[in-house]
Amino acid sequence: MSGGDSATGVRAVVEVLARALADRPADVRVVETQHGKTTLVELYCAPLDAGKILGRQGRTVAALRTLAASAGEREGKTVTLEVRNTPYKG
């Protein structure tokens, strides 16, 4: 059960939603890696978009995590979603 090179449903769901939320959608990157039985999905965004991705009291990121977990469950995966800031590139 190795992760293929193509985007999985989990990665696609997270990427589409994060780009829709972000002011700088071109700066959104989603990286998916396998760690044992857990799939780690890292969402990289511009520092100015981090607040929008996290949402008030973390509600938006909590919803993203729920959707990622649901999409992963359909593929038989346990998914963890982490939000990371990318350095500003002007």
Could you tell me what percent of the chain has a pLDDT over 70?
88
Flag whether the pTM goes above 0.85: no
- Tallying the residues shown for the chain, one arrives at 90
Number of Cβ atoms within 10 Å of the Cβ of 17: 19
Confidence category of residue 7, pLDDT binned at 50, 70, 90: low
CATH classification of the domain holding 74: 3.30.300.20
Q: Looking at the 3D structure of the chain, how many domains does it have?
A: 1
Mean pLDDT, residues 48-62 taken together: 94
Query: Residue 2 falls within a domain, yes or no?
Result: no
Specify if 52 maps to a domain.
yes
Distance CA 78, CA 32 (A): 12
